[in-house]
A and B are shown apart, each in its own frame.
Chain A
Amino acid sequence: NAGVMQNPRHLVRRRGQEARLRCSPMKGHSHVYWYRQLPEEGLKFMVYLQKENIIDESGMPKERFSAEFPKEGPSILRIQQVVRGDSAAYFCASSPASRGGNYGYTFGSGTRLTVV
């Protein structure tokens, strides 16, 4: 049973380009969470999605960031017009039900975005 798959593992973008980060949840998991880890900091919640629905995006920056979890395919975190401050590790987690805290999320290995 494959875990949470994130790709790419490393992504380099020039300022102003778009970054697309993909997350395939564990089999049977329909809830996806995105977290961002800035250097020397803990993980910060960004967004929680179920299939075709954004449930909570309270941690998402108001501009340039968007997320989706379509009926088919992986969840996508998109960052438009990247800036150096977007450089971070982005982690996806999945859970089988909404009360992910009870189960402890399963995290992917992350995508490390570097903006040059």
Chain B
Amino acid sequence: AQSVTQLDSQVPVFEEAPVELRCNYSSSVSVYLFWYVQYPNQGLQLLLKYLSGSTLVESINGFEAEFNKSQTSFHLRKPSVHISDTAEYFCAVSPFSGGYNKLIFGAGTRLAVHP
């Protein structure tokens, strides 16, 4: 079985400051890793994903995440946040399997960017 722990339920930060949202996972099999973002009253949007290859993955809006296999972590970072980054961020894993993949989500981290 898999589980995902997002260590911070809320992260307040000032605009233009750096931010790190932490995610650790537990799994007995290899997994794919994802970060999703949910803006208020909207669905989830895929922010970035790690499937294989380079352990550092980037999104188009300045976020990046690094897969650390030894620490079973997939922390999300941004060097300078904007007000518009205020949202809830979900880390998720999907186990490699012979059939389909379903997502196991963490409880989410609410990022609040203040002016």
Asked if A101 is at the interface of the complex by the 8 Å CB criterion, the answer is yes
B43-A40 in contact (CB<8A): no
Compute how far the CA of A104 lies from the CA of B6 in the bound complex, rounded to whole angstroms: 19
Q: Is A105 an interface residue (CB 8 A)?
A: yes
- B26-82 residues at the A interface, CB under 8 angstroms: 32, 34, 36, 41-46, 49, 51
- Residues of B78-102 whose CB lies within 8 A of A: 90, 94-95, 99-102
Other-chain residue from B42, B102, B105 in contact with A48 (beta carbon distance below 8 A): B102
The answer to whether A74 has its CB under 8 Å from any CB of chain B is: no
* Residue A102 lies at the interface, judged by CB distance under 8 Å to chain B: yes
Range of interface residues on B (Cβ < 8 Å): 20 to 34
Q: Which of A12-20, A65-73, A106-114 makes up part of the contact surface?
A: A106-114
Q: For residue B95, which residues in chain A have a CB less than 8 angstroms away from its CB?
A: 101
Q: Does any Cβ of B come within 8 Å of A44's Cβ?
A: yes
Q: Is the CB of B100 within 8 A of A102?
A: no
B107 at the interface (CB under 8 A from A): yes
Of B43, B49, B94, B104, the contact of A107 (CB 8 Å cutoff) = B43
Query: How far is A104 from B50 in the complex, measured between Cα atoms in Å?
Result: 10
Asked whether, in the complex, the Cβ of A102 is within 8 Å of the Cβ of B32, the reply is yes
What is the minimal beta-carbon distance from B95 to any residue of chain A, in angstroms?
A: 8
Question: Which of A4, A101, A106 lies in contact with B103, CB distance below 8 A?
Answer: A101
B residues within 8 A CB of A35? Answer: 103, 105
Of B90, B101, B104, B105, which one neighbours A102 at CB under 8 angstroms?
B101
Can you offer 27 A-B residue contacts whose CB atoms are under 8 A? Answer: A6-B43, A31-B100, A33-B102, A35-B105, A41-B107, A42-B6, A42-B90, A42-B107, A44-B105, A45-B102, A48-B100, A48-B102, A56-B102, A98-B99, A98-B101, A99-B100, A100-B94, A100-B100, A101-B32, A101-B95, A101-B103, A104-B46, A106-B46, A107-B44, A107-B45, A110-B43, A112-B41
